[in-house]
Structure 1
Amino acid sequence: MLFNKLHADIEPFYTNLEIAAAPKPWPKLADGVPRRASVSSFGFGGTNSHVIVENFVPPTPPMQDTEPLLPSRPFTPFNFSAASAGALRGVLSDYAEYLRSHPDTNLNDLAYTLYARRSHPPSGPASRPRRQQSS
């Protein structure tokens, strides 16, 4: 971090401020209370920003996933879209890499997300999901 010491003219105004100059463990919190931190940035020329970040606690997974990884229907389209053919090739390449590195991805969830959360630019094929058989 680029912080060493508060300037003497500023120091009196920051009595209740802690500057994290080195990593430290999170304090213990009660169950159900998320970890939360504020980050401020004061830039040259008057650019200021502030963000509050909070950790995501994933839901507890079910004891056993009874939903198949492949759709039970004969055809569930993957709707990919992008602003241009070149951008679409990049999107398809990124998803192919993701699916190779995450073979347990639920394809029903992916198909739904691709359909429900997409924009509608001009370039966009639909593709049928296929899993390669392992030998």
Structure 2
Amino acid sequence: MSSQAARSGAAAATKIRSPRRPAGTLYRGREGMWSWVLHRITGVAIFFFLLVHVLDTAVVRISPEAYNSVINEYKTPLLGLGEIALVAAIGLHALNGLRIILIDFWSAGTRHQRLLFWIVIALWVVLLVGFVPRQLMHIFGGQ
């Protein structure tokens, strides 16, 4: 009985620790979190673009001259660079959407979600490398 009392006293003397959280859990800056953040940001940006697009297209019903004025504003270099940002947002949002579909419907998707994130980033960069130089030539007069 004395050895049992000693054991219970030793157990009481040890600190009670909270369970250790595994690395890479929610909001730890890992690929899953960045994917989530980028998907939300690009989705909101695309939504606002579509809202502005619908409104500027509706201007043609009010005044064709006003519509032409708005369209001429889109030909400025600043908005040409904005088109690059728009294409980048749409491309990343679409590819990440496919990644999310794979994670949801492929049984091994959650195990490979980090790899899928980097595949999405690589494909996105390849797509932008094909688009950005041509768009920059168009913006700055290289045709």
In our comparison, the structure showing a higher alpha carbon Rg is 2
The answer to which structure, 1 or 2, has the higher relative contact order (CA under 8 A, 6+ apart) is 2
Q: TM-score, normalised by structure 2?
A: 0.21
Q: TM-score, normalised by structure 1?
A: 0.22
The structure richer in helix per residue is: 2
The structure richer in strand per residue is: 1
